[in-house]
């Protein structure tokens, strides 16, 4: 009997949203004019949907008066703040393309993003902590001849944005509306270009699967400059008439829990390390988190013990795990509200409505049987238009059949749920054995001294590659060596999966989306071995 193929699609009777982001905003304003739409906890500023619609239109008219039109690129270089949301929706009103620029960028990366996308107008915040954005923009002006103007958030001229006239009436859902630079591990970042249809529908379905209504209040400590914040957060809220709560510009665990308590948030987002930091606060038990019922955890796998505490101590019984990538708007799979602990920690859920996923042999493209590992591919409304002005790199990622090749290794279970077992390039081949870091990481999370762990392969003369574990300890002053880890693994983990090298670290290098930069860990381990 032939094994069932690792290929499935999301069934639903509910059609896709066939509208622009501006039209969705109009619907929300008409349906919920007096409901809160946006709350900025640090400044105390609040907007109802009627007020949000009014201010979005004001900003859109101001941008139009400054020469911004359909298809023009408007950069935004800022951390989480209400102005970010206003500009997100104002550019959509105009049919302009919002270019998200990571606030961690410095002059070299900034100049590349501005020039590669052709940004004509930049909206930026003047400074944040030790970052002087005004000085950096001044430094790159000569390198960026296409940059006509910079508007500074907080300056009077930004607050006075206004103008005359209406907005384009012929905008289409398939128009490009957003460019997000993926944090590539090699070479320059690529500008994933996304449409209204891409991101509005993805936000809508992410929200549907966690049961959002206009009663929900979503606390977003995740960045707006990434899909996690601006799509899964802002657009999920907009498409359901829910409220976005901003706890701070950057992530702070205490500020986040304060915002949940003060605003009676029903949903909280984060990557696992954020939840670990919140649970680790000395005064965690003093926060009233009983208003929470759901949320989304994404970016990297969630340890079982962390998930248990999130569901019980944080009252997030319906928390969802989501998986995706910027190029797919971003979510392709997600757990459901009634899934058990095993599905929430051992899988990344099942395919979203209106999407297809399959698992294939990377070398041949053959769809593998369920239970076999292979490359995860996805197809449907969520797949990006392409990489901005890079047709060759687009063709490398999206095949002739419209399938986006993720580069992730996954296994589809019999029930259609998927487990991501690593990146193709992260898989360790030790003495001919395929070793999946995720399996070892999950096991080592059960060690009482280990708070977090990442496993990578390092060069080895005898076996080709050897297993190396980077660990963060629960006790900052504690120690843990390879011999102790080997003893913990003995009899419980195959010998070839047992880490030969163990490094104790304070934390891991991360991408903006919360993924650990394993290439940097591999390089660090290789340097240490070279001595």
Domain with residue 72: its CATH number is 3.40.50.12780
Query: pLDDT confidence of 1, banded at 50, 70, 90?
Result: very low
Which pLDDT score, from 0 to 100, does residue 232 have? 98
The string of pLDDT tens digits covering residues 182-240 is 865 446 789 999 999 999 999 999 999 999 999 999 999 999 999 999 999 999 999 99
pLDDT at 269 over 90: yes
Total-model pTM: 0.87
Residue 235 DSSP code: I
Which pLDDT score, from 0 to 100, does residue 246 have? 99
Instruction: Identify whether residues 298 and 385 lie together within a single domain.
Output: yes
Instruction: Identify whether residues 396 and 470 lie together within a single domain.
Output: no
Q: How far apart are the first and last CA of the chain?
A: 54
Give the mean pLDDT of the chain: 93
Find the CATH number of the domain harbouring 448.
3.30.300.30
Question: For a pLDDT cut of 90, what percent of the chain falls above it?
Answer: 81
| C-alpha dist (Å) from residue 488 to 255, 428, 500 | 37, 21, 13
Instruction: Identify whether residues 224 and 339 lie together within a single domain.
Output: yes
String of b and e for 122-140 (b: at least 16 CB within 10 Å)? bbbbeeeeebebeebbeeb
Positive or negative, the CA dihedral 151, 153, 155, 160 is: positive
Range 161-165, long-range pairs (CB < 8 A, 24+ positions): 161/58, 161/59, 161/61, 161/62, 161/63, 161/65, 162/58, 162/61, 162/62, 162/65, 163/61, 163/62, 163/64, 163/65, 164/61, 164/65, 165/61, 165/64
Instruction: Identify whether residues 358 and 453 lie together within a single domain.
Output: no
Instruction: Please state the rounded mean pLDDT for residues 491-509.
Output: 91
Angle, helices 272-279 vs 253-263, to 10°: value is 80
Query: pLDDT confidence of 159, banded at 50, 70, 90?
Result: low
Instruction: Identify whether residues 356 and 470 lie together within a single domain.
Output: no
Host domain of residue 490 = 427-530
Domain end residue (candidates: 412, 436, 462) = 412
User: In whole angstroms, what is the distance from residue 296 CA to residue 285 CA?
Assistant: 21
User: In whole angstroms, what is the distance from residue 171 CA to residue 22 CA?
Assistant: 9
Query: pLDDT confidence of 469, banded at 50, 70, 90?
Result: very high
Question: For a pLDDT cut of 70, what percent of the chain falls above it?
Answer: 97
Which pLDDT score, from 0 to 100, does residue 185 have? 44
Instruction: Identify whether residues 172 and 51 lie together within a single domain.
Output: yes
The string of pLDDT tens digits covering residues 275-291 is 989 999 999 999 999 99
Q: How many domains does the chain have?
A: 2
Instruction: Please state the rounded mean pLDDT for residues 241-269.
Output: 98
Is position 454 within any domain? yes
Is position 8 within any domain? no
Instruction: Please state the rounded mean pLDDT for residues 374-400.
Output: 97
User: In whole angstroms, what is the distance from residue 142 CA to residue 161 CA?
Assistant: 26
Instruction: Identify whether residues 350 and 488 lie together within a single domain.
Output: no
Residue 74: CA atoms inside 13 Å, Cβ hemisphere, count?
30
């Amino acid at each position: 009997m032939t094994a069932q193929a690792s290929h499935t699609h999301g069934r639903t009777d509910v059609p896709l949203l066939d509208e622009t982001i501006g039209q969705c905003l109009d619907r929300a304003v008409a349906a919920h004019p007096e409901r809160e739409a946006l709350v900025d906890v640090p400044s105390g500023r609040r907007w109802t949907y009627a007020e949000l619609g009014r201010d979005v239109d004001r900003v859109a008219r101001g941008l139009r008066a400054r020469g911004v039109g359909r298809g023009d690129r408007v950069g935004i270089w800022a951390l989480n703040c209400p102005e970010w949301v206003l500009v997100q929706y104002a550019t959509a009103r105009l049919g302009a393309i919002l270019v998200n620029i990571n606030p961690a960028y410095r002059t070299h990366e900034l100049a590349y993003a501005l020039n590669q996308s052709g940004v004509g107008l930049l909206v930026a915040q003047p400074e944040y902590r030790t970052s002087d954005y005004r000085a950096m923009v001044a430094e790159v002006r000569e390198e960026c001849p296409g940059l006509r103007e910079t508007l500074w958030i907080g300056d009077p001229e930004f607050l006075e944005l206004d103008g005359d006239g209406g907005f384009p009436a012929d905008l289409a859902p398939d128009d490009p509306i957003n460019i997000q630079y993926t944090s590539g591990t090699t070479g320059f970042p690529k500008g994933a270009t996304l449409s209204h249809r891409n991101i509005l529908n993805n936000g809508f379905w992410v929200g549907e699967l966690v049961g959002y209504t206009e009663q929900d209040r979503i606390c977003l400590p995740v960045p707006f400059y990434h899909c996690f914040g601006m799509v899964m957060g802002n657009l999920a809220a907009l498409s359901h008439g829910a409220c976005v709560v901003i706890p701070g510009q950057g992530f702070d665990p205490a500020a986040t829990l304060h915002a949940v308590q003060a605003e009676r948030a029903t949903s909280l987002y984060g990557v696992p390390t954020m939840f670990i930091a919140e649970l680790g606060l000395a005064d965690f038990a003093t926060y009233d988190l009983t208003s929470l019922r759901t949320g989304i955890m994404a970016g990297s796998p969630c340890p079982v013990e962390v998930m248990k505490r999130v569901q019980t101590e944080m009252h997030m019984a319906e928390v969802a795990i989501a998986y995706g990538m910027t190029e797919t708007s971003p979510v392709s799979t997600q757990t459901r509200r009634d899934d058990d602990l095993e599905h929430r920690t051992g899988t990344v859920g099942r395919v979203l409505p209106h999407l297809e996923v399959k698992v294939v042999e990377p070398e041949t493209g053959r769809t593998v049987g369920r239970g076999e590992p292979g490359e995860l591919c996805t197809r449907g409304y969520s797949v990006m238009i392409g990489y901005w002005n890079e047709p060759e790199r687009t063709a490398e990622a999206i095949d002739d059949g419209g399938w986006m090749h993720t580069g992730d290794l996954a296994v589809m279970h019999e029930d259609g749920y998927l487990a991501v077992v690593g990146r193709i390039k992260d898989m360790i081949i030790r003495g001919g054995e395929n070793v999946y870091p995720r399996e070892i990481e999950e096991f080592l999370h059960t060690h009482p001294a280990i708070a977090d762990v990442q496993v990578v392969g390092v060069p080895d003369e005898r076996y080709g590659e050897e297993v190396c574990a980077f660990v963060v300890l629960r006790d900052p002053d504690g120690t843990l060596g390879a011999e102790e880890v080997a003893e913990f693994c003995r009899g419980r983990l195959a010998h070839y999966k047992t880490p030969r090298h163990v490094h104790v670290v304070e934390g891991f290098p991360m991408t903006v989306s919360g993924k650990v930069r394993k290439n940097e860990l591999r390089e660090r381990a290789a340097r240490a071995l070279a001595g």
